[in-house]
Chain A
């Protein structure tokens, strides 16, 4: 589909050692989230005020927060929401963006013009402001933040995908397919989509990091996840008040977000190298 076999892809990808390391880290974190009920040593929401702000060790490997909840357990359960929401936003906005972007570029003409002006209007606001407006209308809460982020994010993909498709549809192999009698649908799925797919993979990997950051940001501001649900951004917010006495409350989730974002960036960079190489 993308112009090189899986074994070739793998042999090229492993040359990027830092990216391989990051991939393992990301996979480990994802596994931690999926298997949280088995891995977590304690109930993440169990408040035990007698045990608040304990240091690492014993029953609590990373210690406890200001309400005596196990930090490690909260981080593990928090992965589900932080990463899950980012994947959710990404898959929805990418699917909608790809469909609309390809349609717009392939059809061209007035519909294309109309869609692009619509994008211009929305993209002229900073995305943070736009999401806050949507949350203002829908009310705060995790689901509404996710909906708001999807509504803003897909517009960016429409733009990018449209420009990719515009350059590809002028290539003569698309004309060749038309001359052979290929229908428009088949041209899109066989000739255009496989040629934008590598860029999409790279783009979405790079963007996952920033989506995680954004989602945590909304939680930090208090719009997203409501307490006591564990989420990395919300954990930072809760720990903020104890930054002098117990900085580790902010340190653990902050560090995790940083590492995940760096990892996605490095993986994205490596993928770009690997996939670009395949056609040159």
Chain B
């Protein structure tokens, strides 16, 4: 009897361990959804399938419903999987290693292309590529188009018109309307005067917190840095498609101009900025504690959703980020994209064809409504740079502002050249130097020299590894 009991215990323990082993294998980390429309069940074996690895978690539901609609119409299976925020590169690496790898994936520009180049199919002959309104927006390898933008986004200084109007009405205001502010000198006068009168304006500071927490510093090390570096690259006529090996950071002092202005006229003491996140700055702006925040059109949904938001839809506007560059009176806001859709060249020919058809349908065919409809109506709310979207604009106030600035006569928009910044490590390093500078632990020259040498070493690191 005793033996028998032991046997049972041993057997059940063994069984338990085996179940444990296989239960472990079953775990899935990403939210996945396969759209299975009614038609697809009737034998689609030879038709090819689409697997889109989505970059934007905020649009996961919309893409899933678009996939469903497409499957119902055509019978082609479309699988949409979304990577959690900030983990796209990781998800892509592991998904690509599987046998049913994504057929459409997102590449973030020339630097991402260095990693994923061998997976990108030539899209030059695609209908969608031909309908691109501005060919320079595509991701190119030489003259070959390898990635197509899904949306154009814009960023600049977002201001609250209500607070600005309050200031313009004060005695001795340095300007009477936003139109008068078209260069850094004027802007600085206005901002410093506003800080002096912040009690009267009912704000805590002109600018929302310059968030310098690790991982929350992209508005400075990427977006703000884009402006002086774009000017430098334009001076040198650099060809971005090959990657940029070295910079002088020639207009670094212009970066310092605006960055100092942000730090000294902020809601938060500059020594404490290492604890502030982008979300903090968004809520400061939404609550009316700050008159301005540097960010892009995507931030409107966060502002409008903030509890106690005082910013009205008609009061939220964009202005260009002036840095003191000569001739900046004609500078517009920064527009571009860092999300290029690429087709996996290692997928089967049928799957590639199905993926191309799907994108064509969405951006040039019947699916275009899904792109511009606002997210609450099941659309993507994108500003899409294709022929089919001319005259259609999304109803988000900041997206409309982006279009307004794009079409202003005599204004040149600044491209998103930060897609050629050598690596994430470079950006993180830049951000940490800016934090040290804000905390008074290093001089501006240290920042500048560090940026130049880190750029060089990171660019060299990726160059040698792609050759070997």
| A complexed with B | no
Interface residues of B (CB under 8 A from A): none
